[in-house]
Amino acid sequence: MKQSNRSLIFKSFLILALILLTTALLTSGLLADYHGNDSENGEVKNNEIEKETEEIDEEAEEIEAREIIVETHNFYFEPEVINVEPGEEIKFTVKNPSSAFHTFTVYHSRTEREEAVVDISLSVGEEKSVTVTMPDEEQELYLVCLPHEGVEMIGSIIVGELPEETDDGEETGEIDNSGEAE
């Protein structure tokens, strides 16, 4: 009796184990299948997004440079401060409605004048346009009318966002070591 009981229990265990194994296999199979489909859908979506991005890039290339209109007057620029983004394509259209000759000249700074970023000369009533790619680094460019620099016909082109200046003209967060430097 005992022996047959044992074999019965053993058989039951075996059947139970088989059922569990089958269930486990089926479940894992189904899950794998589900995930498989999921990633396929994901790939399709990614491809669609890539295509859309390419289309947007192509559109962006077709967009013309941003136009900034500047007027030269006796003896100031209007506007005096121009804000641009680093690397931005800008079409400067400069108009001279004043009664004097002016230039719209842009240098990297008041002292760095080896290479002008922009240099346009305008006789009375003239209008000229030039398209320029702005520098990639954030900085303040120096705008000047060459014949009228003496009367402070100057301005600036701010590329990107420069740190705000404090009252004494020092950049915020900068250690004041002007006494030691020179």
Contact characters 101-140, Cu ion, x per CB under 5 A:
-x--------------------------------------
Select 45 or 113, whichever has its Cβ closest to Cu ion.
113
Q: Map the footprint of Cu ion across residues 42-61, applying CB under 5 A.
A: none
Q: How far is the CB of 103 from Cu ion (least distance, A)?
A: 7
Q: Is the dihedral of CA 56, 135, 138, 119 positive or negative?
A: negative
Out of 134, 143, 144, 145, the only residue in the binding site for Cu ion (CB under 5 A) is 145
- 135's CB contacts (< 8 A; 6+ apart) are 86, 87, 108, 117, 141, 159
Q: Map the footprint of Cu ion across residues 63-82, applying CB under 5 A.
A: none
Q: Which stretch in 39-47, 108-116, 148-156, 157-165 sits in contact with Cu ion by CB under 5 A?
A: 148-156
Question: What are the C-alpha distances in Å from 111 to residues 11, 96, 103, 106?
Answer: 96, 26, 18, 12
From CA 171, how far away is CA 141, in angstroms rounded? 16
From CA 99, how far away is CA 80, in angstroms rounded? 19
Query: Residue numbers of the site for Cu ion (CB under 5 A)?
Result: 102, 145, 148, 153
